[in-house]
Amino acid sequence: MNPELPSTARAWAEHDPDPATKQEILALIEEDNEAELASRFAGPLEFGTAGLRGRIGAGESRMNRAVVLRATFGLVSWLKENVSEHPRVVVGCDARYGSAQFHRDAAAVVSALGGTALVLDAKQPTPVTAYAVRALDADAGVMVTASHNPPRDNGYKVYLGGDSHGSQIIAPVDAGIAALIATAPPADEVPTSQENIEYIDVDYVDAVVDKVITKSDNQDGLRVVATAMHGVGGATLVRVLTKAGFTNVDLVTQQAFPDPDFPTVTFPNPEEPGALDLALAKAREVDADIIVALDPDADRCAVACKHEGQWRQFTGDETGAVLGEWIARGHDAHPEASGTTLANSIVSGRLLGRIAAAHGMGYVNTLTGFKWISRAPELAFGYEEAIGFCCQPDLVRDKDGVSAALTLCHMAAELKKESKTLVDVLEELARTHGLYHTAPLTFRVEDLSILGAAMDKLRAAPPTELAGSKVVDIADLEKGGDLPPTNCLIFVTEDNDRVIVRPSGTEPKVKCYLEVVLPCSDEVPWDAARERIGLLKEQMKAVIGIA
């Protein structure tokens, strides 16, 4: 065994304030379990995109009380140096393993260091925390969540108030906080206090309903099936829909209440195959019109609707397009309203840009992540293909599954009066702008070095044609340009098809984002688009060369 490993682990255990995780490390030392100790002490859990995320367990490379205490010390220290000597910090959490304790620990550190912890009730949606930062004019917000990660993960997400308007943190703030976390004392020496803690409530439900619904005389004609995917969004979503006038709402009972094991799904993400099976069964049973599905922390929303007797689940890009069109029509009717820009990330589809141009609105293409999308100037709507939608940026500067679900239901109710569905809107967009059809392709790896090698291979020998069409443009975003540098390659063909390749920022994956564009007349060429996407998938599998 590496002679330094046991001493490093023992020093950590000596300062671990949690008896359970302390004993976990001591047992691994006693067992001489070098492999597991090396995994637990592979370096501090990195404070990066919006905060921390990792598997729950003992050690510096896991999510645990010691990591949360020291992270909060770093965050509050940064706020005191850069924002206020007495920062006000909203603290929220979901219902995952460890969330309630991490929630209490974060609040206690904020209090002890001279700040005021504005503590939301436990088991709240992430958008409620983001909303509270802005509504309460707080300096920052902490949300303990791992979104739709596997059951044994948790995380620590950070929002910034002031000029950031409750958006997730970006560089150089993240690096500044990380540097101060590194200077934090051992976890059992981080001060904690209960003196400056205020338990608060915010009017998120009223605010969202008032923004989305201008009248409620047509909502009761729509039959809605909703699922919370074993997360914290169910009660909030039902309250929102009920207040908005939707009286025919059926919540999928098997997934309605928080359960950190997510027992009915393989992976707690409504995009995953099979995740909506229970919702679809319920929808067929009650003859519903629409399904809205939240992920476990309710910041994402998937939608399916019944069209000509068949159920169709939308991709993130399809949902983003119909929402963007709906919000753009609202802008046409009320040009004086705040927000004149539609935005999405570079990995999302290009149809939103066409929609913006057609309605005389601005359009912004950003780097991946809502920390960038939310900062688009004069934002009216923003989305990312991974079913994240920001429908009310003046309330929540982040993706918000609850307000997206409400907007989709309101839209479906209005369309039903005309004997139309969301699919009709999607096909109308195809006839107007051409059919933009997208699909993901993901390669998971065990060895992280493969990610860099795959990108190097593509840079050295890029494809010259894709799906039978010559590649006419290659953009290497690592070289910078209009956007900050990022490890991403974009290939565009003569037929205007597009392939984007990037390593995941949070998981050991190479991710490809495929998009084909087909001209469209009265008949929308769905089959031809799927066939061409299939050709792109097979070709990229061969080009990247990862099984």
Q: For residue range 166-177, what is the model confidence (pLDDT) as tens digits? A: 999 999 999 999
Same fold, 205-431 and 434-544: no
Residues with Cβ within 8 Å of 42's Cβ and at least 6 positions away in sequence, in order, are 61
Q: What secondary structure letter does DSSP report for 47?
A: -
Using DSSP, state whether 60 is helix, strand or coil: coil
Q: What are phi and psi of 382, to 5 degrees?
A: -140, 150
pLDDT in the model for residue 214: 56
pLDDT in the model for residue 547: 60
Total residue length of the chain:
547
Per-position pLDDT tens, the chain of length 547: 677 899 999 999 999 999 999 999 999 999 999 999 999 999 999 887 668 999 999 999 999 999 999 999 999 999 999 999 999 999 999 999 999 999 999 999 999 999 999 999 999 999 999 999 999 999 999 999 999 999 999 999 999 999 999 999 999 999 999 999 999 999 999 999 999 999 999 999 999 998 876 544 567 789 999 999 999 999 999 999 999 999 999 999 999 999 999 999 999 999 999 999 999 999 999 999 999 999 999 999 999 999 999 999 999 999 999 999 999 999 999 888 889 999 999 999 999 999 999 999 999 999 999 999 999 999 999 999 999 999 999 999 999 999 999 999 999 999 999 999 999 999 999 999 999 999 999 988 777 778 888 899 899 999 999 999 999 999 999 987 788 899 999 999 999 999 999 987 666 788 999 999 999 989 999 999 999 999 999 999 988 877 6
AA letter at 10 = R
pTM of the model: 0.96
Q: What angle do CA 151, 446, 501 make, to 5 degrees?
A: 95
Q: Which two tokens stand for residue 134?
A: 């802005």
Q: Which two tokens stand for residue 479?
A: 């070289």
Closest residue by Cα to residue 347 from 505, 125, 534, 204: 505
CB distance 479 to 469 below 8 Å: no
pLDDT in the model for residue 506: 62
CA quadruple 230, 233, 235, 241: dihedral positive or negative?
negative
CA 499 to chain centre: 22
pLDDT in the model for residue 80: 98
CB distance 243 to 205 below 8 Å: yes
pLDDT in the model for residue 1: 64
pLDDT in the model for residue 383: 98
- Alpha helix (H) ranges present in 254-393? 277-286, 316-333, 351-358, 370-373
- Cβ-based neighbour number of residue 289 at 10 Å: 22
Q: DSSP letters of 171-238?
A: TTHHHHHHHHHHTPPPGGGS---STTEEE----HHHHHHHHH-S--SSGGG--EEEE-TTSS-HHHHH
Question: Pick the catalytic residue: 61, 99, 111, 147?
Answer: 147
pLDDT in the model for residue 46: 87
Domain range annotation of the chain: 45-199, 205-431, 434-544
Give the residue carrying structure tokens 């995953």: 272
Closest residue by Cα to residue 92 from 58, 60, 120: 120
Rounded Cα–Cα distance for residues 280 and 295 (Å): 16
Q: Is 61 a catalytic residue?
A: no
CATH number of 45-199: 3.40.120.10
Q: Confirm or reject CATH 3.40.50.300 for domain 434-544, answering yes or no.
A: no
Q: Which two tokens stand for residue 335?
A: 């040009």
Q: For residue range 353-407, what is the model confidence (pLDDT) as tens digits? A: 999 999 999 999 999 999 999 999 999 999 999 999 999 999 999 999 999 999 9
Rounded Cα–Cα distance for residues 332 and 101 (Å): 48
Give the residue carrying structure tokens 């691994």: 28
Report the CATH fold assignment for 205-431.
Answer: Alpha-D-Glucose-1,6-Bisphosphate; Chain A, domain 3 (3.40.120)
State the burial class of residue 438 (Cβ atoms within 10 Å of its Cβ: 0-12, 13-18, 19+).
buried
CB distance 294 to 228 below 8 Å: yes
